[in-house]
Amino acid sequence: MTRIAVAGAGLIGTRHLDALRLAGIPVHSVIDPDPSAADIAARHGVPHHADLAAALATRPDGVILSTPNTHHRDGALACIAAGVPVLVEKPLAATVADARAIVAAGQAAGVPVLTGHYRRHQGVVAAARERIAAGALGTPVAAHAMFWIAKPDGYFDTAWRRAPGAGPLLVNLIHDLDLLRFLLGEVGSVRAIASNWVRGFENEDHAAALITFESGVICTAQISDAIVGPWSWEMTSHDNPAYPPTDQNALWIGGTHGSLALPRGELWDDGGRRDWMTPIRRETLTRATPDPLVAQARNFADVIAGRASPVCSGAEGLATLAALDALIRATRSGGVERPAP
């Protein structure tokens, strides 16, 4: 059976370990320089390695890389050089250049590289993508994404969470942007503004963006980790028990024949009459799905075994990071920015 190692035993790393267990996929080892990771490895009954090189020497079938963003490039390249498929937590890398290096190395070596944009594995997202492609909305025209959430003061006791790159744009909005790309296609241009006046840290605490897709769809996005509110995918999707659930939505897509609200999967239409005096009706898309991290782990195992293609490849992770990079550049330039090729 496929044995997968997990590098990085922090919050997301431990969730990956639990997901592998729930998916019935054997854990190869836990990789983390922190001595406390040995206890985590012991709980899973697997070896603990202080560094990635030591783990790769024991030949895992795959590695889930959940280390800090700045370590993604070196870790992914080490896995690729060893011929070991790797699933890299989002973002694929800290910079577009580093992400390009990872994707190029994987393609040259023929080693699978996946990106951990887990929302693509949710049942309601797959159903929404299918219905949009089938024309349920007619021609998509506009979209709106919301992320309003309040991170507690203690969250910022860790220094890197107050530094550039650790704000809600790179940590949180990248999820929404990947989901928008998955449902609506490639980003053409971006305008955006960001501010840090609420907390005064080096990174932003709120931002707004105007995103134009190559298809012509215009999307607005509002994001803040300093607002108490119920509108965020974390609270509305009910897929992470760490967040209190709400009965709201966080993403809206409107087209010439209907509209869709996610993640509740509410599809609205008026029977094709396109008349604002006609009663509008609601259909609810299926939300049935396993934990998306479990589904992602199974997809990774199937890719390793040659049974499936990645739901989110390294190339997809690169494209999402390039779109976010354009958005971040727009907050600095005050003008229109476009994703790098």
* 266-269 and 259-262 strand pairing: antiparallel
What pLDDT is recorded for position 224?
A: 97
Q: What structural domains does the chain harbor?
A: 4-119+293-310 (3.40.50.720), 123-288+322-333 (3.30.360.10)
| Residue 70: band (very low, low, confident or very high) from pLDDT cuts 50, 70, 90 | confident
- Determine contact, residues 220/210, Cβ cutoff 8 Å: yes
Tell the burial category of 286 from Cβ atoms under 10 Å away from its Cβ (0-12, 13-18, 19+).
exposed
| Residue 282: band (very low, low, confident or very high) from pLDDT cuts 50, 70, 90 | very high
What pLDDT is recorded for position 241?
A: 80
Q: Which strands make up the sheet holding 218-224, listed edge to edge?
A: 187-195, 206-213, 218-224, 140-148, 251-255, 259-262, 266-269, 281-284
Average pLDDT over residues 1-20: 94
| Residue 290: band (very low, low, confident or very high) from pLDDT cuts 50, 70, 90 | confident
Give the residue among 79, 83, 100 at the shortest CA–CA distance from 91.
100
| Residue 339: band (very low, low, confident or very high) from pLDDT cuts 50, 70, 90 | very high
Q: 289 or 261, which is more confident?
A: 261
Coil vs helix vs strand at 143: strand
Residue 289 has pLDDT above 80, yes or no: no
* 35-115-240 Cα angle (round to 5): 70
Q: Look up residue 6 and give its amino acid.
A: V
Give the residue among 281, 283, 162, 183 at the shortest CA–CA distance from 233.
183
- Determine contact, residues 263/287, Cβ cutoff 8 Å: yes
What pLDDT is recorded for position 212?
A: 98
What pLDDT is recorded for position 178?
A: 97
